Amino acid sequence: MSVNALYRDDFYLSTAEAVVTAIHEDGGIELDQTCFYATSGGQPGDTGFFERADGSKIALGQTRHGATKDIIIHVPQQGEASPAIGEKLVMHVDWPRRYRLMRMHTACHLLSVVCQYPITGAAVGEDESRVDFDMSETIDKDEVTAKMMALVDENHPVFVQWITDEELAANPGIVKSKNVRPPIGLGRVSLVCIGENSAIDSQPCGGTHVSETQEVGAIYIAKIEKKGKENRRFRIRFGTATDEV
């Protein structure tokens, strides 16, 4: 059943009420609406718990899409109780974890601004993210860190602009990712924009991001690995390079 994905319009919504609409054989729960992000586009799905009317909790292990993007399935941890269809729950996203993912995800966008090569893959993590670029040049990681931190310190706004699938098709140049498909199929596509009037960047992305670059905080490029002749893997971590020593 199609879900109202509340996080698409509010990345900072960590709790809301919802009604159970379906239960899958594996215990997966579908709701009429959700603030839980489902795994996609390199960003892991949310964890957290549902609070039932009697105050008891259902702990969630992961959130994933069903057969299509408008289906979101919340999978309880093993041994958790199963709610009834029609039951009203209060959703609670594990916010500290999600916020780290939002900061990291935004950092990946900043890296793509600093490093303007086609992206061949990306994975956002709580402690480390990686972005793969189609490039053969050697680049100094401390220089990349300095440029990314300049964008963080300048505190640019980060916002979403919705365009239609047709508008995206008419402007293929805005897609930086080679292998990751932009989030089409919902009729509208979210463009993640950085800077006043998108001056710094705009690219299609269905993930969750912070609303100004300063929120990313201290990040640095821990490693640049050579993965084949024309592929470089960048690893972003929280903190500063001196934390490594």
Which residue is it, tokens 């941890």?
Answer: 77
Strand partners of residue 158: 194
How far apart are the C-alpha atoms of 162 and 81, rounded to whole Å?
38
Binding to Zn ion by residue 236, rule CB under 5 A?
A: no
Binding residues with Zn ion: total (CB under 5 A): 3
Binding of residue 207 to Zn ion (CB under 5 A): yes
Instruction: Name the residue nearer to Zn ion (CB basis): 21 or 40.
Output: 40
Q: Which stretch binds Zn ion (CB under 5 A): 1-9, 22-30, 204-212, 231-239?
A: 204-212
Q: How far is the CB of 64 from Zn ion (least distance, A)?
A: 18
Nearer CB in complex with Zn ion: 1/162: 162
Edge-first strand listing for the sheet containing 188-194 = 158-164, 188-194, 201-204
DSSP annotation of 26 reads T
Closest-by-Cβ residue to Zn ion is: 205
> Of these, 205, 216, 222, 236, which contacts Zn ion (CB under 5 A)?
205
**Least distance (Å) between residue 194 CB and Zn ion:** 10
Angle at 226 between CA 129 and CA 149, to 5 degrees: 45
Which of 8/92 has CB closer to Zn ion? 8
Site for Zn ion in 210-229 (CB under 5 A): none
* 48 makes contact with Zn ion (CB under 5 A): no
**Residue 90, beta-bridge partner list:** 17, 51
**Among the residue ranges 27-35, 66-74, 125-133, 191-199, the one whose residues contact Zn ion (CB under 5 A):** 191-199
Determine the interface stretch with Zn ion among 65-73, 114-122, 156-164, 203-211 (rule: CB under 5 A): 203-211
Which own/partner pairs from 9-16 qualify as long-range (CB within 8 Å, at least 24 positions apart)? 10/35, 11/102, 11/208, 11/209, 11/210, 11/211, 12/211, 14/92, 14/93, 14/95, 14/98, 15/90, 15/91, 15/92, 15/93, 16/90, 16/91
Residues at the site binding Zn ion, with contacts judged by CB under 5 A: 192, 205, 207
